[in-house]
Amino acid sequence: MKVHEALVVLEDALRDRDDALDDRVEVYNRLVALAADYLNIPHPVTRVQLIPIDTVRGNDYNPNRVAPPEMRLLIRSIQKDGFTMPVVVAGEGKEYVVVDGFHRRQAAKNNRQIRESLGNYLPVVRLEKKLEDRIAATVRHNMARGTHQVELTARLVTLLRRHNWTSERIGRELGMEPDEVLRLKQMEGLAEAFADREFSQAWEVDGSKI
């Protein structure tokens, strides 16, 4: 098989090389990208890349907060077990924004031991999304882990409304039932954002109009 033969040749070449880390990272990223293309499974996790950690910035809408004890535990976990989950980012070139993994990125950026062990790189998977889609992806990641905070999630829903997302779309994209979206309107700052006829005319729960 030609692919197998090419890998054998590549392995032999790599075994004898003593390149700088930056060069090895470049080769690694290219190999992973090619392997992902060959595999042809449409999931971002198949193409983890290493990018300079200083090119990744946190977003300003993340609703998930970690208390100091949990943050210390996260750092300890990475120190003992290594980096087992890539950070999810959006962007390209010299600037990326965190979609999920804000605290993993913080640990890798600010803890000297972890940063040095990663060679100043960060393992990431990249999503190609617009701002509002990134916000929705962040909420979904946090809710799936059961770590989101309702008040802050409500603020994100407000942001989605400002991007002309209907309440129906918010419920569909975030996996929320109509009554869950309705409860969010009670949170601070949402009354005005939801001051329309959408709920009274279009949404029904248990057959009764809201």
Give 149 or 98, the one with higher predicted confidence. 98
pLDDT for the residue numbered 121 = 98
> Of the candidates 154, 142, 204, 148, which has an alpha carbon nearest to the alpha carbon of residue 183?
154
Distance CA 142, CA 144 (A): 5
Distance CA 5, CA 12 (A): 11
pLDDT tier at 13, thresholds 50, 70, 90: low
DSSP notation for 172-206 = HHHT--HHHHHHHTTSTTHHHHT-SSHHHHH-EET
pLDDT tier at 197, thresholds 50, 70, 90: very low
pLDDT for the residue numbered 209 = 44
Percent of the chain with pLDDT over 70: 73
Residue 141 has pLDDT above 90, yes or no: no
Q: Note whether 157 and 191 are within 8 A (CB).
A: no
Q: What is the mean pLDDT of residues 90-108?
A: 88
Q: What is the mean pLDDT of residues 4-23?
A: 75
Which residue type occupies 27?
A: V
Residues 6+ apart with CB under 8 A from 42: none
Residue tagged 């992806």 (tokens): 137
The token duo for 111 is 């803890």
Residue 162 has pLDDT above 90, yes or no: no
pLDDT for the residue numbered 208 = 46
Q: Note whether 181 and 171 are within 8 A (CB).
A: yes
Residue 113 has pLDDT above 80, yes or no: yes
pLDDT tier at 17, thresholds 50, 70, 90: low
Least confident interval from 34-38, 52-56, 116-120, 149-153: 149-153
pLDDT for the residue numbered 203 = 43
